Structure 1
Amino acid sequence: MSVSGCTPARRTPRLAALALLGTLTLSACGGTDADPAAEASPSAGPTASDGPRVVQGGEPGEDAREVSGDDAVAQDEWSHDDVMFMQMMVPHHAQALRMSELAPERAQDPRVLRLAERIEAAQGPEITMMAAWLDERALEVPSAKDPMALDHGEHGHASMEGMLTDAQMEALARTRGAAFDELYVRSMIRHHEGAVAMADETAGEGIDARVGELRDDVTASQSAEIARMQDLLDGR
């Protein structure tokens, strides 16, 4: 007997023949040239052609979102405000380190000495990170010790707020004991306030994620230190 035009190899019992009928109809005689991969269920998950998926953090207050690998690469961009913040903050941090380096031989209050140590421990590595960020993008890395690096007006940068003048730095270096403690803390409060102001001023047009994280960290950590330093002054 034949099934849909196909001849079985041998005679089989009736029940086996009925089972074979369905098999032959679907496979041997009812086959298709369609690519099995094209009929894969959508629920099978992304294929290699979908590309890698990357979770990208949002701005403060925004949720993270999933982006494609190509979109993630496109996010590796920066703005003038990003460059301005990084270039100004290198010498700004460097002056805070020079101020703090005076403390071990001049500070009388152990709380002031601990404050200076915390500032050195935090801002030293940040200078290294900022310089690396600029260097990776073939951008100018300001000299931490060159006074000319403090003048960014000619490059369209905002003024560096909170910086001590040379005369103020010399006056700080001449003081000792309680006089140093008070002058150092008051000067550092203004210095921190300047850093927070610069972070805020350059945040509007910033687009680089790493710079944004540093801005947030500067704002949070230095605002907290301003409050602690003010408490220290109030308790004297």
Structure 2
Amino acid sequence: MRVVLVVLVLAGVLAGCTGSGDEDVPNVIVPGKPGEQARTLDPDDVGTDRWVAPNEADLRYVASMIVHHRQALDMAALAPDRASHETVRGLASRIHDTQGPEIGAMEQWQRDFGQKAPAHGHSGKLPDVDHAGMPGMATPEQLAALKSAKGTDFDRLFLQLMIAHHEGALKMAVELLSTGSDVRVEEMANDVVASQTDEIGRMRAITLP
């Protein structure tokens, strides 16, 4: 919603400035979140890192979701040799193909943030994350059980753990969308909501013998 409003405001500004190259280009008004005041930016700042600086919620979400995704990839990597249900193997492949690039995008965002942090008044240090405190994470015991299972037993446990894992990721993403400030991180969270909601539906629809 904010992005659309900014684009519309910017389009209006540019349309009003085409008459003369000597006219001063007016500032751009960026609507805030509900309850927040709008901000006025120089047109040169729109689309740059000065537009919306990341906050602590953005930093913690990205650091946590990288760890969260990596566990999903570890679980998915077990499926080709252990799963017996074709759809389970297909879902595991989809998780690999989706979450691998998402990790890459989040790590790139962290690198970008580290380079730009001083300008935002941040130290550039990424937050430590509590592995055990993340929603949906499988325990070491559950992962060991998954690694030792095969066939239908693997399929059943994989679906159980991965559904819980996805539900935890949705909880993290929804929380970020109400507390974060960085547009790129919000886009990542929206991608997680879209892809993992779809995959939860697919997993729940699988019927095992």
Q: How does the TM-score come out when normalised to structure 1?
A: 0.66
Q: Which residue of 2 aligns with 1:151?
A: 130
C-alpha contact 2:63 2:129 (8 A) present in aligned 1:
no
Q: Which has the larger Rg?
A: 1
SS at match of 1:232: coil
Tell me how far apart the structure 2 counterparts of residues 223 and 70 of structure 1 sit (CA, whole Å).
Answer: 35
What CA deviation, in whole Å up to 9, does each residue of 1:95-137 have, x standing for no partner?
A: 0000000001000011000000000000001101101111221
C-alpha change, 1:140 and 1:168, in structure 2 (3 Å) is: farther
Q: Displaced runs of 4+ in structure 1, greater than 4 A?
A: 48-54, 56-59, 139-142
C-alpha change, 1:170 and 1:46, in structure 2 (3 Å) is: farther
What CA deviation, in whole Å up to 9, does each residue of 1:66-118 have, x standing for no partner?
A: 98223443314111111111010001000000000000100001100000000
Tell me how far apart the structure 2 counterparts of residues 71 and 124 of structure 1 sit (CA, whole Å).
Answer: 30
Q: Which residue of 2 aligns with 1:203?
A: 177
1:193 aligns with 2:155: no
Tell me how far apart the structure 1 counterparts of residues 134 and 164 of structure 2 sit (CA, whole Å).
Answer: 12
Tell me how far apart the structure 2 counterparts of residues 46 and 91 of structure 1 sit (CA, whole Å).
Answer: 53
Aligned residues: CA RMSD: 3.1
1:68 aligns with 2:43: yes
Tell me how far apart the structure 2 counterparts of residues 211 and 127 of structure 1 sit (CA, whole Å).
Answer: 12
Amino acid at match of 1:137: F
C-alpha change, 1:46 and 1:130, in structure 2 (3 Å) is: farther
- Aligned pairs, how many? 177
Equivalences for residues 1-236 of structure 1 within 5 A:
45-47=19-21, 50=24, 68-73=43-48, 74-138=50-114, 139-140=124-125, 151=130, 159-233=133-207, 236=209
Q: Any unmatched runs of 5+ in structure 1?
A: 1-41, 60-65, 143-148, 154-158
Higher relative contact order (CA 8 A, sep 6+): 2
C-alpha change, 1:69 and 1:43, in structure 2 (3 Å) is: closer
Percent of matched pairs sharing the same residue: 39
Tell me how far apart the structure 2 counterparts of residues 43 and 101 of structure 1 sit (CA, whole Å).
Answer: 55
C-alpha change, 1:123 and 1:45, in structure 2 (3 Å) is: same
Q: How does the TM-score come out when normalised to structure 2?
A: 0.74
C-alpha contact 1:52 1:69 (8 A) present in aligned 2:
no
Q: Deviation at 1:184?
A: 0.3
C-alpha change, 1:53 and 1:140, in structure 2 (3 Å) is: same
Tell me how far apart the structure 2 counterparts of residues 167 and 43 of structure 1 sit (CA, whole Å).
Answer: 64
